[in-house]
Protein backbone atom coordinates (compact mmCIF):
# COMPACT_ATOMS: atom_id res chain seq x y z
CA UNK A 1 0.00 0.00 0.00
CA UNK A 2 1.36 3.40 -0.90
CA UNK A 3 1.74 6.22 1.60
CA UNK A 4 -1.02 8.10 -0.19
CA UNK A 5 -3.50 5.23 0.05
CA UNK A 6 -2.74 4.63 3.74
CA UNK A 7 -3.99 8.05 4.82
CA UNK A 8 -7.16 8.22 2.71
CA UNK A 9 -10.03 9.45 4.89
CA UNK A 10 -7.73 9.67 7.92
CA UNK A 11 -6.27 12.67 9.66
CA UNK A 12 -2.51 12.97 9.25
CA UNK A 13 -0.33 14.52 11.91
CA UNK A 14 3.23 15.65 11.26
CA UNK A 15 5.74 16.06 14.07
CA UNK A 16 9.11 17.81 13.92
CA UNK A 17 11.90 17.23 16.41
CA UNK A 18 14.40 20.10 16.31
CA UNK A 19 17.66 18.88 17.81
CA UNK A 20 21.10 20.37 18.13
CA UNK A 21 22.57 18.09 15.45
CA UNK A 22 19.59 16.82 13.45
CA UNK A 23 16.02 17.74 12.55
CA UNK A 24 13.59 14.86 12.14
CA UNK A 25 10.05 14.92 10.81
CA UNK A 26 7.53 12.12 10.98
CA UNK A 27 3.93 11.65 9.87
CA UNK A 28 1.43 9.40 11.66
CA UNK A 29 -2.22 8.63 11.09
CA UNK A 30 -4.89 8.94 13.76
CA UNK A 31 -3.96 5.52 15.14
CA UNK A 32 -0.29 6.41 15.52
CA UNK A 33 0.81 4.35 12.51
CA UNK A 34 3.93 5.83 10.91
CA UNK A 35 3.45 7.01 7.33
CA UNK A 36 6.72 8.75 6.47
CA UNK A 37 9.91 9.92 8.14
CA UNK A 38 12.87 12.07 7.10
CA UNK A 39 15.77 13.77 8.82
CA UNK A 40 18.41 16.34 7.92
CA UNK A 41 21.37 17.89 9.70
CA UNK A 42 20.56 20.95 11.78
CA UNK A 43 21.99 24.15 10.26
CA UNK A 44 23.75 25.16 13.48
CA UNK A 45 23.96 28.88 14.26
CA UNK A 46 21.70 29.74 11.31
CA UNK A 47 18.15 30.51 12.40
CA UNK A 48 16.67 31.22 8.98
CA UNK A 49 18.16 28.05 7.52
CA UNK A 50 16.69 26.13 10.47
CA UNK A 51 13.18 27.38 9.68
CA UNK A 52 13.67 26.53 6.00
CA UNK A 53 14.88 23.01 6.86
CA UNK A 54 11.87 22.35 9.12
CA UNK A 55 9.42 23.59 6.51
CA UNK A 56 11.21 21.60 3.80
CA UNK A 57 10.75 18.36 5.71
CA UNK A 58 7.02 19.00 6.05
CA UNK A 59 6.67 19.72 2.34
CA UNK A 60 8.61 16.55 1.51
CA UNK A 61 6.32 14.40 3.67
CA UNK A 62 3.19 15.97 2.24
CA UNK A 63 4.44 15.46 -1.30
CA UNK A 64 5.08 11.77 -0.57
CA UNK A 65 1.74 11.11 1.12
CA UNK A 66 -0.38 13.38 -1.04
CA UNK A 67 -2.02 14.91 2.04
CA UNK A 68 -1.68 18.07 4.09
CA UNK A 69 -1.26 17.41 7.80
CA UNK A 70 -1.37 19.25 11.06
CA UNK A 71 2.10 20.20 12.29
CA UNK A 72 3.60 20.16 15.77
CA UNK A 73 7.21 20.88 16.67
CA UNK A 74 9.34 19.97 19.66
CA UNK A 75 12.17 22.37 20.39
CA UNK A 76 15.04 22.43 22.93
CA UNK A 77 13.52 25.37 24.79
CA UNK A 78 10.13 27.00 25.14
CA UNK A 79 8.08 29.90 23.77
CA UNK A 80 7.79 32.81 26.17
CA UNK A 81 4.20 33.68 26.99
CA UNK A 82 5.22 37.33 27.34
CA UNK A 83 7.24 37.89 24.20
CA UNK A 84 6.34 35.00 21.91
CA UNK A 85 10.06 34.36 21.46
CA UNK A 86 12.13 31.25 22.15
CA UNK A 87 13.86 31.13 25.53
CA UNK A 88 15.94 28.63 27.49
CA UNK A 89 17.21 26.79 24.39
CA UNK A 90 20.61 25.16 24.65
CA UNK A 91 20.71 25.57 20.86
CA UNK A 92 21.38 29.19 21.65
CA UNK A 93 20.87 30.59 18.13
CA UNK A 94 17.14 29.93 18.61
CA UNK A 95 16.83 32.16 21.69
CA UNK A 96 15.05 35.44 21.12
CA UNK A 97 13.57 34.29 17.81
CA UNK A 98 9.84 34.10 16.87
CA UNK A 99 10.12 30.47 15.80
CA UNK A 100 6.44 29.70 16.32
CA UNK A 101 5.35 32.61 14.11
CA UNK A 102 8.03 32.11 11.47
CA UNK A 103 7.38 28.39 11.03
CA UNK A 104 3.62 28.99 10.89
CA UNK A 105 4.18 31.63 8.21
CA UNK A 106 6.48 29.35 6.21
CA UNK A 107 3.87 26.57 6.23
CA UNK A 108 0.82 28.88 5.92
CA UNK A 109 -0.97 27.20 8.84
CA UNK A 110 -0.94 27.13 12.63
CA UNK A 111 1.97 25.18 14.07
CA UNK A 112 1.90 24.00 17.68
CA UNK A 113 5.25 24.19 19.46
CA UNK A 114 6.31 22.64 22.77
CA UNK A 115 9.46 21.77 24.66
CA UNK A 116 10.99 18.53 23.38
CA UNK A 117 10.76 16.85 26.80
CA UNK A 118 7.06 17.71 27.01
CA UNK A 119 6.70 16.05 23.61
CA UNK A 120 8.34 12.91 24.95
CA UNK A 121 5.91 12.88 27.89
CA UNK A 122 2.91 13.28 25.57
CA UNK A 123 4.10 10.53 23.24
CA UNK A 124 4.63 8.03 26.02
CA UNK A 125 1.37 8.96 27.76
CA UNK A 126 -0.61 8.63 24.53
CA UNK A 127 0.49 5.27 23.13
CA UNK A 128 3.86 4.56 24.72
CA UNK A 129 5.23 3.04 27.91
CA UNK A 130 2.86 5.08 30.12
CA UNK A 131 -0.25 4.86 27.93
CA UNK A 132 -3.35 5.61 29.95
CA UNK A 133 -1.51 7.11 32.94
CA UNK A 134 -2.98 10.41 34.11
CA UNK A 135 0.20 12.23 35.15
CA UNK A 136 3.43 11.34 33.37
CA UNK A 137 6.85 12.87 33.94
CA UNK A 138 9.12 12.54 30.93
CA UNK A 139 12.89 12.69 31.31
CA UNK A 140 15.44 13.20 28.55
CA UNK A 141 18.94 12.09 29.46
CA UNK A 142 21.02 12.96 26.44
CA UNK A 143 23.71 15.53 25.80
CA UNK A 144 21.65 17.67 28.18
CA UNK A 145 18.93 16.86 30.69
CA UNK A 146 15.31 17.81 30.14
CA UNK A 147 11.97 17.10 31.71
CA UNK A 148 8.33 17.48 30.77
CA UNK A 149 4.88 16.91 32.21
CA UNK A 150 1.82 15.41 30.53
CA UNK A 151 -1.54 15.48 32.28
CA UNK A 152 -4.28 13.43 30.63
CA UNK A 153 -2.18 13.36 27.48
CA UNK A 154 -1.77 17.13 27.28
CA UNK A 155 1.24 19.36 27.84
CA UNK A 156 1.54 21.09 31.18
CA UNK A 157 3.94 23.93 30.45
CA UNK A 158 2.71 26.41 33.07
CA UNK A 159 2.43 30.21 32.83
CA UNK A 160 6.20 30.56 32.52
CA UNK A 161 6.66 27.74 30.03
CA UNK A 162 9.02 25.84 32.33
CA UNK A 163 6.84 23.03 33.69
CA UNK A 164 9.01 19.97 34.29
CA UNK A 165 12.36 21.73 33.88
CA UNK A 166 14.07 19.68 36.57
CA UNK A 167 17.36 19.86 34.66
CA UNK A 168 17.88 23.41 35.87
CA UNK A 169 17.15 22.76 39.50
CA UNK A 170 20.19 22.09 41.68
CA UNK A 171 21.21 18.56 42.56
CA UNK A 172 19.43 17.90 45.88
CA UNK A 173 21.12 16.72 49.07
CA UNK A 174 24.56 17.62 47.74
CA UNK A 175 27.63 16.01 49.22
CA UNK A 176 30.45 18.37 50.32
CA UNK A 177 32.51 17.46 47.24
CA UNK A 178 29.54 18.21 44.97
CA UNK A 179 29.12 21.81 46.10
CA UNK A 180 28.78 24.24 44.33
CA UNK A 181 28.93 22.06 41.23
CA UNK A 182 29.95 22.65 37.61
CA UNK A 183 28.91 25.79 35.77
CA UNK A 184 25.88 25.21 33.54
CA UNK A 185 25.24 26.97 30.24
CA UNK A 186 22.29 28.70 31.93
CA UNK A 187 24.79 30.62 34.10
CA UNK A 188 24.11 28.84 37.38
CA UNK A 189 26.12 26.12 39.11
CA UNK A 190 25.22 22.60 40.13
CA UNK A 191 22.20 22.12 37.84
CA UNK A 192 20.97 18.53 37.44
CA UNK A 193 21.93 18.80 33.78
CA UNK A 194 25.59 19.03 34.73
CA UNK A 195 25.41 15.85 36.83
CA UNK A 196 23.18 13.33 35.05
CA UNK A 197 23.40 14.17 31.33
CA UNK A 198 25.85 12.59 28.93
CA UNK A 199 27.90 15.76 29.28
CA UNK A 200 27.84 15.42 33.06
CA UNK A 201 28.89 11.77 33.03
CA UNK A 202 31.86 12.50 30.75
CA UNK A 203 32.84 15.47 32.93
CA UNK A 204 32.69 13.38 36.09
CA UNK A 205 34.86 10.70 34.49
CA UNK A 206 37.38 13.32 33.33
CA UNK A 207 37.61 14.93 36.76
CA UNK A 208 37.91 11.62 38.62
CA UNK A 209 40.35 9.87 36.27
CA UNK A 210 42.03 12.62 34.26
CA UNK A 211 41.05 10.79 31.06
CA UNK A 212 38.73 11.76 28.21
CA UNK A 213 36.05 9.20 27.35
CA UNK A 214 32.67 9.54 25.70
CA UNK A 215 29.61 8.57 27.70
CA UNK A 216 29.07 5.61 25.40
CA UNK A 217 32.60 4.42 26.04
CA UNK A 218 32.21 4.88 29.79
CA UNK A 219 29.03 2.77 29.84
CA UNK A 220 30.72 0.10 27.73
CA UNK A 221 33.64 0.06 30.17
CA UNK A 222 31.17 -0.27 33.03
CA UNK A 223 29.50 -3.27 31.38
CA UNK A 224 32.95 -4.82 30.94
CA UNK A 225 33.66 -4.50 34.67
CA UNK A 226 36.00 -1.47 34.65
CA UNK A 227 36.34 -0.11 38.21
CA UNK A 228 36.78 3.56 37.23
CA UNK A 229 33.70 3.50 35.03
CA UNK A 230 31.76 1.65 37.74
CA UNK A 231 32.49 4.43 40.23
CA UNK A 232 31.17 7.03 37.80
CA UNK A 233 28.01 5.01 37.13
CA UNK A 234 27.49 4.53 40.88
CA UNK A 235 27.51 8.30 41.35
CA UNK A 236 25.22 8.77 38.34
CA UNK A 237 22.65 6.37 39.75
CA UNK A 238 22.65 8.02 43.17
CA UNK A 239 22.33 11.50 41.65
CA UNK A 240 19.51 10.40 39.40
CA UNK A 241 17.71 8.89 42.39
CA UNK A 242 18.06 12.14 44.34
CA UNK A 243 16.81 14.25 41.45
CA UNK A 244 13.85 12.00 40.66
CA UNK A 245 12.94 11.75 44.36
CA UNK A 246 12.54 15.51 44.36
CA UNK A 247 10.22 15.24 41.35
CA UNK A 248 8.18 12.58 43.14
CA UNK A 249 7.98 14.72 46.28
CA UNK A 250 6.48 17.56 44.22
CA UNK A 251 4.38 15.83 41.52
CA UNK A 252 4.08 12.18 42.62
CA UNK A 253 3.56 11.17 38.97
CA UNK A 254 1.87 7.94 37.95
CA UNK A 255 4.95 7.04 35.89
CA UNK A 256 8.36 8.43 35.00
CA UNK A 257 9.48 7.65 31.45
CA UNK A 258 13.11 8.05 30.41
CA UNK A 259 14.37 8.86 26.93
CA UNK A 260 17.65 10.08 25.44
CA UNK A 261 20.93 8.27 24.94
CA UNK A 262 21.39 7.30 28.60
CA UNK A 263 17.93 5.70 28.64
CA UNK A 264 19.48 2.70 26.85
CA UNK A 265 21.47 1.81 29.98
CA UNK A 266 19.24 -1.05 31.18
CA UNK A 267 20.77 -1.25 34.64
CA UNK A 268 19.24 2.14 35.52
CA UNK A 269 15.76 0.58 35.62
CA UNK A 270 16.92 -1.90 38.24
CA UNK A 271 19.09 0.43 40.30
CA UNK A 272 17.08 3.67 40.46
CA UNK A 273 13.82 2.20 41.87
CA UNK A 274 15.83 0.53 44.65
CA UNK A 275 17.46 3.83 45.59
CA UNK A 276 14.40 6.09 45.53
CA UNK A 277 12.90 5.16 48.88
CA UNK A 278 15.95 6.49 50.70
CA UNK A 279 15.16 9.98 49.39
CA UNK A 280 11.39 10.14 48.85
CA UNK A 281 9.51 11.70 51.76
CA UNK A 282 7.94 8.95 53.87
CA UNK A 283 10.34 6.26 52.69
CA UNK A 284 7.98 4.78 50.10
CA UNK A 285 8.59 4.94 46.36
CA UNK A 286 6.42 2.80 44.10
CA UNK A 287 6.67 5.06 41.05
CA UNK A 288 7.42 3.05 37.87
CA UNK A 289 10.63 4.14 36.11
CA UNK A 290 10.22 3.08 32.48
CA UNK A 291 12.29 3.29 29.29
CA UNK A 292 10.54 5.20 26.53
CA UNK A 293 8.71 2.75 24.28
CA UNK A 294 9.59 4.72 21.18
CA UNK A 295 13.15 5.54 22.18
CA UNK A 296 14.64 8.37 20.14
CA UNK A 297 11.35 8.68 18.23
CA UNK A 298 9.29 9.67 21.27
CA UNK A 299 9.98 13.38 20.86
CA UNK A 300 8.97 13.56 17.21
CA UNK A 301 5.87 11.42 17.84
CA UNK A 302 4.89 13.63 20.75
CA UNK A 303 5.22 16.69 18.54
CA UNK A 304 2.73 15.11 16.16
CA UNK A 305 0.39 14.34 19.09
CA UNK A 306 0.33 18.05 20.03
CA UNK A 307 -2.84 17.99 17.94
CA UNK A 308 -5.16 15.90 20.16
CA UNK A 309 -7.87 13.46 19.19
CA UNK A 310 -10.59 16.11 19.16
CA UNK A 311 -9.06 17.48 15.95
CA UNK A 312 -9.71 14.14 14.21
CA UNK A 313 -13.43 14.58 14.81
CA UNK A 314 -13.28 18.03 13.25
CA UNK A 315 -11.74 16.52 10.11
CA UNK A 316 -14.32 13.76 9.69
Q: Lowest mean pLDDT: which of 53-57, 77-81, 110-114, 216-220?
A: 77-81
Read off the pLDDT of residues 95-107 as tens digits, 9 standing for 90 and up.
999 999 999 999 9
pLDDT, position 143: 85
Name the superfamily (CATH) of residues 3-116. Answer: ATPase, nucleotide binding domain (3.30.420.40)
Question: Fold identical between 3-116 and 129-292?
Answer: yes
pLDDT, position 130: 97
What does the pLDDT average to over 218-234? 97
C-alpha distances (whole Å) from 180 to each of 87, 170, 175, 184, 240 are 25, 9, 10, 11, 17
Read off the pLDDT of residues 37-57 as tens digits, 9 standing for 90 and up.
999 999 999 999 999 999 999
- SS3 of residue 23 by DSSP: strand
Tell me the pLDDT of the chain averaged across its residues: 92
pLDDT, position 59: 97
Read off the pLDDT of residues 143-182 as tens digits, 9 standing for 90 and up.
889 899 999 999 998 898 889 999 999 999 999 999 999 9
Confidence of residue 311 (pLDDT cuts 50, 70, 90): very low
Query: In this structure, what are the phi and psi dihedrals at residue 17, rounded to the nearest 5 degrees?
Result: -110, 110
Confidence of residue 299 (pLDDT cuts 50, 70, 90): very high
C-alpha distances (whole Å) from 240 to each of 123, 247, 272, 303, 307 are 22, 11, 7, 26, 32
Write down the CATH number for the domain with range 129-292: 3.30.420.40
pLDDT, position 312: 44
Domain boundaries, the chain: 3-116, 129-292
pLDDT, position 29: 94
Amino acid sequence: MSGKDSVTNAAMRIGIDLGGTKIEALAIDRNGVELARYRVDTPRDDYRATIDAMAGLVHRIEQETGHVGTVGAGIPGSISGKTGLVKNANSVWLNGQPLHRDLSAALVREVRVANDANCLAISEATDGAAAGKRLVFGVILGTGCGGGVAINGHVHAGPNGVGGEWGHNPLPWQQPDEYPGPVCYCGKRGCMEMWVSGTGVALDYKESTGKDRTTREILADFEAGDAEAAAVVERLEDRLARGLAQVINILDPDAIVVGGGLSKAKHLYESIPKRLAAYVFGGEADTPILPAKYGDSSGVRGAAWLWPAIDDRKDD
